[in-house]
């Protein structure tokens, strides 16, 4: 992207060097801003930890293996999770492959009768956290920049069952916009049963 183009910037006589990747708050940013570099590093890190779990699996019990997965592998994909909701299908398949391999390793020493793994799938975990955040936004339980991030949809007919209990979904045309948290968060929240959306606490 920057081939043949030299950008020279300075602040207070200090030169700012150009780079193809910059890590900011745990997220690797590149010139395309499509998080491809970040995802590849994240996937490689998770795959390495899955291999380590496989090596030590014979020395630990099932509960310990499950806890290692939940504390050291799963968080790699759930960190910065609001962006992760919009991953492409190919990236989601790669995440599911890590998830499947991990659960297979965890359940190696389990008998069918005693293998009760209570591990929330990564995709479900992200959706659950997104719903909580949308709920907090709609109820003003967030810091100032996000107080008006989501809006309640009100109908003229006050008798409508969903009146005031549905998040307003923005009208978007581009596929890129459909992968944004602003769109996905509202859509996922609206998919909840009305009984859950009616909860006010």
**32 closest CA partner among 42, 24, 20, 48:** 20
Rounded distance between C-alpha atoms, residue 182 and residue 171, angstroms: 11
What pLDDT does 1 receive? 46
The pLDDT of residue 65 is above 60: yes
Residue carrying the six token digits 């459909």: 178
Whether residues 89 and 33 share a domain: the answer is: yes
pLDDT per residue as tens digits for the range 150-196? 888 876 555 555 556 888 888 888 887 888 888 999 999 999 998 88
Q: Is residue 92 part of a domain?
A: yes
The partner residues of 167 in beta bridges, in order of sequence, read: 152
Residues 140 and 94 in one domain: no
The residue among 64, 98, 119 that closes a domain is 119
Q: What pTM, to 2 d.p., does this model score? A: 0.78
- For residues 47 and 115, membership in a common domain is answered with yes
Instruction: Transcribe 33-98 into DSSP letters.
Output: -S-HHHHHHHHHHHHHHHHHHHHHGGGS-HHHHHHHIIIIIHHHHHTTHHHHTT--HHHHHHHHHH
Residues 162 and 104 in one domain: no
Other Cβ atoms closer than 10 A to 200: 7
Token pair of 43 as six digits: 């996937």
Q: Number of folded domains in the chain?
A: 2
Q: Which of 119, 151, 171 is the last residue of a domain?
A: 119
Domain that holds residue 171: 126-197
């Amino acid at each position: 992207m920057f081939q043949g183009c030299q950008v020279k910037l300075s602040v207070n006589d200090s030169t700012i060097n150009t780079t193809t990747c910059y890590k900011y708050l745990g997220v690797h940013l590149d010139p395309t801003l499509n998080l491809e570099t970040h995802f590849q590093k994240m996937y490689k890190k998770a795959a390495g930890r899955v291999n380590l779990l496989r090596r030590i699996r014979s020395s630990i019990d099932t509960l310990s293996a499950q806890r290692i997965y939940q504390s050291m592998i799963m968080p790699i994909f759930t960190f910065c999770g609001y962006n992760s909701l919009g991953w492409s299908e190919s990236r989601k398949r790669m995440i599911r492959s890590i998830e499947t391999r991990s659960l297979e390793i965890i359940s190696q020493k389990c008998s069918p009768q005693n293998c009760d793994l209570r591990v929330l799938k990564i995709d479900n975990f992200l959706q659950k956290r997104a719903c909580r955040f949308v709920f907090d936004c709609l109820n003003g339980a967030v810091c100032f920049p996000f107080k008006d991030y989501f809006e309640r949809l009100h109908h003229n007919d006050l008798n409508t069952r969903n009146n005031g209990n549905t998040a307003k979904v923005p009208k978007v045309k581009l596929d890129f916009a459909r992968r944004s948290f602003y769109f996905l968060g509202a859509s996922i929240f609206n998919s909840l049963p009305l009984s859950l959306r009616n909860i006010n606490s």
